[in-house]
Amino acid sequence: MYGPSEFTVTGVMKGYDCSSRLGEISCPVLLTCGEYDEATPEATAFYREKFPNAIMRVFEESSHEHHLEKPLEYIRQVRQFLTRADQNP
């Protein structure tokens, strides 16, 4: 539906954008990216602003594979997020 890859969008979903509906998601949201990510910190911040209850973490000196490059830091951030989300449902 999307095409051969996320970089070659040719399928029926080309042009589909539901980002205007992200504000309907009220649960806590954690967005992560690497400093040198193809999903840039600027792009991630754009989406963070669309959620009413989102936080964003940028992993320094990391790429799109920040969860593999800095696994302990990534796991720590996810645990902190889940703990806060669990305490503030």
Q: For residue 26, what are the CA distances in angstroms to 21, 32, 52, 87?
A: 11, 18, 6, 15
- Tokens 């539901």 locate to 18
Instruction: Look up the pTM and report it.
Output: 0.85
Could you tell me if 39 and 32 are in contact, meaning their C-beta atoms sit under 8 angstroms apart? no
Give the tens place of pLDDT for each residue, 14-67.
Answer: 888 999 999 999 999 999 999 999 999 999 999 999 999 999 999 999 999 999
The per-residue b/e assignment along 5-33, b for 16 or more CB within 10 angstroms, e otherwise, is eeeeeeeeeeeeeeeeeeeeeeebbbbbb
